[in-house]
Structure 1
Amino acid sequence: MSGNTSTNKMPVLFIGHGSPMNIVLDNSYTQSLMKLGKELPRPKAIMVISAHWMTDGTYVTCNEKPKTIYDFYGFPRRLYEVDYPSPGAPNEAELACKTVRKATVECSNQWGLDHASWAVLKHMYPEADIPVFEMSIDYSFNEWHPKMMQYHYDLASELKELRNHGVLIIGSGNIVHNLGLIDFQNVDAKPYDWAVELDEKVKENLLSGNHKDLIEYLNMGEVAKLGIPTLDHYLPMIYAIALQEEDETLEFTHEGFQHASVSMRGFKIG
């Protein structure tokens, strides 16, 4: 059994999940996930804000038994043979719907657990014995601007109450994520200079608590345009930092790159 059940406020995680190949790899990244699962207080339930569930509006999965979704293509057969049969968490999902007031959050039984969830949780909680539900990201906005980013930040900040109910909240995406320039052949390829520069700027802002420049990410310069060409993988990080209380520390659980253009940085709040 991983950790101890705790009635205290649960921490918040952001995990850079990277390639689906991490499902079956043993590396410093997957080892960091295993370490987290052993060290964290055992959650009553887990909510994952997924980079792979983009919707018109915001939804949470209310399934009793969420299905394992293989939302990737062209990978080795053994990845599709992995299952993650965790129970769902409909009560906690409904609590999320009631807690958020800045937007309407609705239940959905049409989704399950995509690999932003189970590829991470397989290493953290391999027994799949903790209830899990996902929250989608509203991707209906027609143009990206600071007000839209602030909308997501404000929505996420209202989820704080779930932490007091034993829910471990995980934002699962990647801070730097440019698939157009990825080196698919080499997981350990040297990262691009612009990718390293952006990752370091984000690191500095995370440590200093400068959420403004993380929300208005283009303030970080031209490297932000290269490293964040779309917001699907960046927004789960915004959800995580929105849950940080003033007195809470942030520590990195993993640092590094895969395939030259994907940052695997992860962190824990609280």
Structure 2
Amino acid sequence: MSNKMPAIFIGHGSPMLALEDNPFTPQWRRAAQQMPKPEAVLVVSAHWVSDGVTETTADAHELIYDFYGFPKALYQVRYPAKGSRQLAEQVQQQISQPAVAADNKRGLDHGTWAVLKHMYPQADIPVVQLSLDANLSMQQHIELAKQLKPLRKQGILILGSGNLIHNLRLMDRQRADEPFAYDWAVRAQEILLALVKSGDLDALANYRALGGDVQKAIPTAEHYLPLLYILALQENDDALDIFNTGFVGGSLDMTCVQVG
């Protein structure tokens, strides 16, 4: 396939989005509808951090309900997407360092299925998940992601799932569904999105040097890293589309970023 697929980062928020629409989920569907149908989807989710880089290789996926305290209906959600041995092999061929291990037991976590359920509700596109290696530096994650660029020209949608600003400890859970933001979160978003627009990956990787607001916005890196994977795939001719920049609960933003 000669047409280059976009790559997209989805701010996924609560797993309850798998069951309900809100102002954000229709924009996920719109993004999927406006791009070519992918041959397969490679997902980098905040919810799979591992010792070494690992990918799913199962032919069929179980779902991982990696949360607690939610309504029973959420634990009954199904998303019967197939795996793809072909894509798993392509990933291993593209990533020269570090070596990519195979896991044929692990299923899809909610960072993957809660998003894809809206984007591709028929579950008719094969899915492979790629883990975040806890041993890599921010810059090493970016260099790993760059190795995946050729997959875009092979009809593969690379999807990062996390949140630009994700501080659950400071979230107002009584107002978890309300569209408001703390002042520090708004300031952090402005700083980070300016760097996203300018393509300054080095500054984004060194986010701890961006001041106290950004440090508060990104207390740990796992929800932030999938965005850097997507930005690392951007090429000179790729447009940049930023949408869903609203907040919920004060300290969680739903920003999505598409390249290409």
Q: Shorter-chain TM-score: which interval?
A: over 0.9
Match in the other structure for 2:191 = 201
User: What stretches of structure 1 move > 2 A for 4+ residues in a row?
Assistant: none
Report the equivalent of 2:10. 15
1:7 positional shift = 4.4
CA distance in 2, matches of 1:88, 1:185: 38
* Structure 2 residue 147 is the aligned partner of structure 1 residue 155: no
Distance (Å, rounded) in 1 between the aligned partners of 2:195 and 2:118: 28
Matched, 1:87 2:77: no
Q: Quick one: which of 218, 231, 236 aligns to 1:228? A: 218
Match of 1:144 in 2: none
What one-letter code is carried by the residue in structure 2 that aligns with 1:128? A
Aligned to 1:243: 233
Distance 2:124 2:9 in 1: 21
TM-score (norm 1): 0.93
Q: Measure, in 2, the Cα distance between the counterparts of 1:247 and 1:212.
A: 20
Q: Gaps (5+ residues) in structure 2?
A: none
Matched, 1:191 2:181: yes
SS at match of 1:13: strand
Alpha-carbon distance, 1:110 to partner: 2.5
RMSD after superposition:
1.2
Distance 1:189 1:257 in 2: 5
Residue 257 (structure 2) pairs with residue 262 (structure 1):
no
Q: Would the aligned equivalents of 1:102 and 1:154 in 2 still touch at CA under 8 Å?
A: no
SS at match of 1:46: strand
User: Per-residue deviation at 1:80?
Assistant: 1.0
Measured in 2, the distance between the counterparts of 1:149 and 1:217 equals 9
- Structure 1, unpaired ranges of 5+: 1-5, 142-147
Q: Distance in 2 between matches of 1:197 and 1:214?
A: 15
8 Å contact from structure 2 (residues 187, 213) kept in 1: yes
Following TM superposition, by how much is the alpha carbon of 1:76 offset from its aligned partner in structure 2, in angstroms? 0.7
Provide, for residues 176-235 of structure 1, a one-character-per-residue CA deviation record: whole Å limited to 9, x for no partner. Answer: 000111122221152111111111111111111111111111232111210110011011
Which deviations, in whole Å up to 9, do the C-alpha atoms of 1:146-185 show, x marking residues without a partner? xx11100000000011111111000100010001111222
Q: Distance in 2 between matches of 1:107 and 1:161?
A: 20
C-alpha separation in 1, matches of 2:92 and 2:116: 23
- The SS at the match of 2:129 is strand
Partner residue in 2 for 1:3: none
Percent of aligned pairs sharing the same letter: 45
CA distance in 1 between partners of 2:118 and 2:236 (Å): 30
CA contact (8 A) 1:62 1:89 kept: yes
Please say if 1:164 is aligned against 2:153.
yes
Distance in 2 between residues matched to 1:78 and 1:216, nearest whole Å = 40
Contact 1:174 1:263 in 2 (8 A): yes
Aligned letter for 1:253? F
| TM-aligned CA deviation for residue 253 of structure 1 | 3.1
Contact 1:94–1:107 (Cα < 8 Å) also in 2: no
